[in-house]
Chain A
Amino acid sequence: TQLLEQSPQFLSIQEGENLTVYCNSSSVFSSLQWYRQEPGEGPVLLVTVVTGGEVKKLKRLTFQFGDARKDSSLHITAAQPGDTGLYLCAVRPYGGSQGNLIFGKGTKLSVKP
């Protein structure tokens, strides 16, 4: 059983469209992170959310942590080809070793010009 369920698994859109991807679980987390991974590279941290209901914005990206700290969403406004990549959510569960992360399978996003 996967701890984190990310959806959709694949998403292909045109430049300028908006999109939302999701990260869901039945467990509660102390914090949640979103990463973007480009082909041939390691994941790069986009944001860390720690408070239930928290909303963070990073340019055209809006991240929300669910009130119950079990889920999160990432919304991209006016997507650009440079947003193409694998979007991974990762959590540090309560009781887990310090700093250890569990990753979802990711959403593979393709933005066509």
Chain B
Amino acid sequence: EAGVAQSPRYKIIEKRQSVAFWCNPISGHATLYWYQQILGQGPKLLIQFQNNGVVDDSQLPKDRFSAERLKGVDSTLKIQPAKLEDSAVYLCATRGTGAYEQYFGPGTRLTVT
């Protein structure tokens, strides 16, 4: 079974630029999460999708961050415009229906200069 795929793996941008991350979940997993992991911290949930609907986006900075999951499969997370404090690893995770376990992708390491 293929795991969660993310791209790109690394991205360096200047502040005020835009960036987008992509996630392809495990086949059949209806629930998808985006986390932000700042160096030295644990992952922090940004947004949760159930199929193509948003379940929880209470911690998403909506003035600059947006996410979508068209057709309930792949998802993209966008930052526009980026700030220095957005430098972090952005992790995508998915979960099967009725399961506890979340499966994480390798993450995208974003550096904002």
Contacts and interface: CB of A to CB of B under 8 A. Distances in A.
| Interface residue tally on A, bucketed by range | 20 to 34
B56 A45 contact: no
A45 B102 contact: yes
B40 interface: yes
Measured as residues with beta carbon below 8 angstroms from the partner, the interface class of chain B is 20 to 34
Contacts of A90: 42
B1 interface: no
Contact of A97 (B48, B93, B107): B48
A5 to B, nearest CB: 11
Nearest to B38: A105
A42 B41 contact: no
A49 to B, nearest CB: 11
Among B43, B56, B104, B106, chain A packs the most CB atoms within 10 A around the CB of B43
Nearest to A103: B42
Contacts of B91: 42-43
A64 interface: no
Interface string A3-21: 0100000000000000000
Contacts of B31: 99
A45 B55 contact: no
B64 interface: no
Interface of B: 4, 31, 33, 40-45, 48, 55-56, 91, 93, 95, 100-107
22 contacts: A33-B100, A40-B106, A41-B104, A41-B106, A42-B93, A42-B104, A43-B43, A44-B104, A45-B102, A45-B103, A88-B43, A90-B42, A97-B55, A97-B56, A99-B100, A99-B102, A100-B48, A100-B56, A101-B45, A103-B43, A103-B44, A104-B42
